[in-house]
């Protein structure tokens, strides 16, 4: 038999189906979602979540969610920012480079309140954002629910409950029976996503690194300039300034030559 008439090789076996990510139940009203959440909570499940187009009153208690630790973290960050603002201004203005202006105190709290306030807000805001992302396991570039067509209505008028297959109490038959007892509109098995990478794009990572390095340049220049010798150092009082003299040392003074301003009436 010639090669042209040899039977074709058997086609490759179909790829193995992706593992199960969880069971997704759909509901029409917030009350149904809250009722289903109570049943899932009482059943002892730990790895599950609810999704809705708007915040649902009572869903936290129904899910057994405790108060997050994030407010305490933000409070600590705000107090840290306040302490940094006070210490930084005291060090700069009263210790490292004291500068007397119009006879005002070298250091006083009221004059430094704006910077103290801004650093408190800055530290709190950044900590709130970063803490929220970390506590929620974000960023998450992809999720198996992204491939579920019906889940697209979660931002419109539908409510969903997902029980993950990785939960220790998860059993396909028993969990499905529990979900069915909550009278959902539909129940769908959600497979794992094997088509979309769950890693942060490298371009975004490199961009953040470059941005952080660029943000450090002004600070590096300021630190470098701090070691340079200023052209003039003047810590004299207001009376000394008005007299036209600048003290060159604690025990000596030198006159400052001043050219009189031309009179506007002289042509």
Instruction: Determine which of 38-42, 142-146, 171-175 has the lowest per-residue pLDDT on average.
Output: 142-146
Closest CA to 65 of 40, 85, 82: 40
Percent share of the chain, pLDDT over 90: 56
Q: Check: CB of residue 46 under 8 Å from CB of residue 167.
A: yes
Q: Looking at residue 2, what is its pLDDT?
A: 46
Cα-to-chain-centroid distance, residue 167: 28
The whole-number average pLDDT for the span 187-203 is 84
Contacts of 266 (CB under 8 A, 6+ apart): none
Q: Looking at residue 10, what is its pLDDT?
A: 46
Q: How many CB atoms lie within 10 A of CB 226?
A: 10
- Give the CA count within 13 Å in the CB-facing half-sphere of 42: 10
Contacts of 192 (CB under 8 A, 6+ apart): 18, 19, 20, 21, 144
Closest CA to 130 of 119, 139, 121: 139
Question: pLDDT at residue 107 above 70?
Answer: yes
The whole-number average pLDDT for the span 21-28 is 96
174 by Cβ neighbours in 10 Å (0-12 / 13-18 / 19+) ranks as exposed
φ, ψ of residue 21 to 5 degrees: the values are -90, -35
Quickly state the pLDDT bin for 36 (edges 50, 70, 90).
very high
Contacts of 172 (CB under 8 A, 6+ apart): 20, 165
Q: Looking at residue 204, what is its pLDDT?
A: 83
Quickly state the pLDDT bin for 251 (edges 50, 70, 90).
very low
Question: pLDDT at residue 60 above 90?
Answer: yes
Inter-residue long-range contacts of 63-69, CB under 8 Å, 24+ positions, other chains counted: 63/37, 68/135, 69/135
First-last CA distance in the chain: 119
Question: pLDDT at residue 47 above 50?
Answer: yes
Question: pLDDT at residue 99 above 90?
Answer: no
The whole-number average pLDDT for the span 2-7 is 49
Q: Give dist(CA 110, CA 190) in Å, integer.
A: 59
How far, in Å, are 7, 8, 42 from residue 11 at the CA level?
12, 8, 49
Q: Looking at residue 257, what is its pLDDT?
A: 45
Closest CA to 162 of 137, 138, 184, 140: 184
- Cis before 139? omega within 30: yes
Q: Is this prediction's pTM over 0.85? A: no
Q: Looking at residue 98, what is its pLDDT?
A: 87
Quickly state the pLDDT bin for 39 (edges 50, 70, 90).
very high
Q: Check: CB of residue 70 under 8 Å from CB of residue 205.
A: no
- Going by DSSP bridges, is the β-strand pair 20-27/159-164 parallel, antiparallel, or unpaired? antiparallel
Q: Check: CB of residue 116 under 8 Å from CB of residue 82.
A: yes
């Amino acid at each position: 038999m010639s090669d042209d008439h040899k039977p074709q090789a058997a086609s490759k076996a179909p790829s193995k189906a992706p593992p199960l990510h969880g069971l997704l139940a759909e509901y029409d009203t917030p009350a149904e979602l809250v009722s289903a959440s109570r049943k899932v909570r009482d059943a002892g499940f730990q790895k599950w979540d609810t999704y809705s187009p708007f915040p649902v009153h009572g869903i936290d208690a129904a899910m057994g969610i405790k108060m997050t630790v994030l407010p305490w973290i933000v409070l600590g960050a705000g107090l840290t920012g306040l302490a940094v603002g006070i210490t930084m201004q005291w060090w700069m203005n009263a210790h490292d480079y004291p500068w007397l202006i119009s006879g005002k105190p070298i250091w006083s709290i009221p004059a430094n309140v704006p910077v103290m306030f801004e650093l408190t807000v800055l530290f709190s805001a950044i900590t709130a954002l970063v803490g929220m992302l970390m506590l929620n396991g974000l960023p998450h570039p992809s999720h198996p629910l992204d491939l579920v067509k019906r889940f697209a209505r979660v931002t419109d008028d539908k409510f969903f409950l997902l029980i993950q297959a990785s939960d220790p109490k998860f059993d396909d038959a028993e969990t499905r029976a529990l979900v069915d007892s909550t009278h959902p509109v539909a129940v769908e098995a959600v497979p794992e996503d094997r088509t979309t990478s769950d890693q942060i794009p490298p371009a975004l990572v490199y961009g953040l690194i470059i941005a952080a390095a660029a943000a450090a340049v002004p600070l590096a220049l300021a630190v470098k300039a701090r070691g340079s010798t200023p052209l003039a150092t003047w810590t004299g009082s207001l009376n000394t300034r008005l007299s036209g003299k600048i003290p060159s040392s604690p025990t000596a003074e030198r006159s400052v030559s001043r050219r009189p301003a031309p009179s506007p009436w002289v042509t």
